[in-house]
Amino acid sequence: MIKGNLLYEGKAKTVFETDNPKELLIYFKDDATALNGEKHGIIEGKGVINNKLSEFFFKQLKDRGIKSHFVEKAGEREMIVKRLDMIKLEVVVRNIVAGSLVKRLGKEEGTPLTVPVVEYYYKSDELGDPMLNRYHIMALDLAKIDELNQMEHVAFSVNNILRELLKAKNVDLIDFKLEFGRFDGEVLLADEISPDNCRFWDTVTHEKLDKDRFRQDLGGVVEAYKEMLDRLTL
Ligand code: ADP
Ligand code: TMP
């Protein structure tokens, strides 16, 4: 595999072409942003951990029938993935009230939701990623109804699989964000699965083991990411 032209410099990752037109190389950076890009920082070692954790989760999901863009890990910070036509949506699944839901619903952080909730956000930096419903998505031609149904089905399956995996490691899955893209007529899971886009709490102490440590200036950020990696992979 040869690292080709830079395709896209994102906030947390950089995407390169490869010598295979159907594959891309994703490079995981240590950069972290919050508050729609207003807050920026470096979490030293984060990229290495997120690459490992994403590899772990995508492999576990594949073993349980969930297809993703993951091809192989190609270095400490590099992952080879299928080149997708990305769907401009962030698909969020929530089990417990946290983050933006605290204000929106006026519920205390940590309140369990009776059923898991799915939400869609328009991936648009200019608009600040507004929340959309299924009708907005279809009206804007962001995805077809059958693609939406597939994404929703996969999102809930991922929720069940990850909750089970994490429960065995004394971690509660509070919420997470997924992205999807099209490849040869199929909708595949894409991007990353890591403490950058999931909320993980220790089951007993409710200690936060995710990017909220950075968002809320709690300290011990990279230590929390490392703790997640150790619990899942050691
Ligand atoms: P952001 O775009 O929010 O700054 P990142 O820094 O994570 O996010 O950049 C990674 C970019 O790569 C994202 O825009 C994501 O949608 C895109 N991406 C993820 N997986 C794939 C893939 N398999 N094919 C094409 N693009 C992808
Ligand atoms: P929220 O509570 O801030 O809406 O976030 C819900 C989940 O989605 C949480 O696990 C963090 C993740 N997320 C992202 O990965 N990227 C984003 O841009 C946002 C807003 C949330």
Q: What is the pLDDT of residue 118?
A: 98
| Domain topology for 85-233 | D-amino Acid Aminotransferase; Chain A, domain 1 (3.30.470)
Both tokens of residue 46? Answer: 């984060």
Q: What is the pLDDT of residue 2?
A: 80
CATH number, domain 3-82: 3.30.200.20
> Average model confidence (pLDDT) for the chain?
97
pTM beyond 0.85: the answer is: yes
Q: What is the pLDDT of residue 3?
A: 85
Angle, helix 46-63 to helix 221-233, in steps of 10 degrees: 30
CA of 211 from ligand 2 middle (Å) equals: 10
CB-based burial label for 225 (10 Å; 0-12, 13-18, 19+):
buried
Alpha helices in 182-220 (DSSP H): 212-215
Backbone dihedral angles phi then psi of residue 213, each to the nearest 5 degrees:
-65, -35
Q: What is the pLDDT of residue 130?
A: 97
CA of 76 from ligand 2 middle (Å) equals: 25
The residue extents of the domains of the chain are 3-82, 85-233
Q: What is the pLDDT of residue 201?
A: 98
Q: Name the residue of 33, 53, 57, 92 to mutate for ligand 2: max ligand atoms within 8 A of Cβ.
A: 92
Cβ pair 84, 183 in contact under 8 A? yes
CA of 150 from ligand 1 middle (Å) equals: 20
Pocket of ligand 2 (CB under 6 A): 90, 92, 98-101, 129, 175-177, 197-199
> Which residue ranges of the chain lie beneath pLDDT 50?
none
pLDDT tens-digit series, residues 73-86:
999 999 999 999 99
Identify which of 17, 19, 16, 37 has the alpha carbon closest to the alpha carbon of residue 27: 16
Q: Name the residue of 86, 179, 192 to mutate for ligand 1: max ligand atoms within 8 A of Cβ.
A: 86
Identify which of 52, 28, 34 has the alpha carbon closest to the alpha carbon of residue 212: 34
Ligand nearest to the CA of 193: 2
31-34 and 39-42 strand pairing? antiparallel
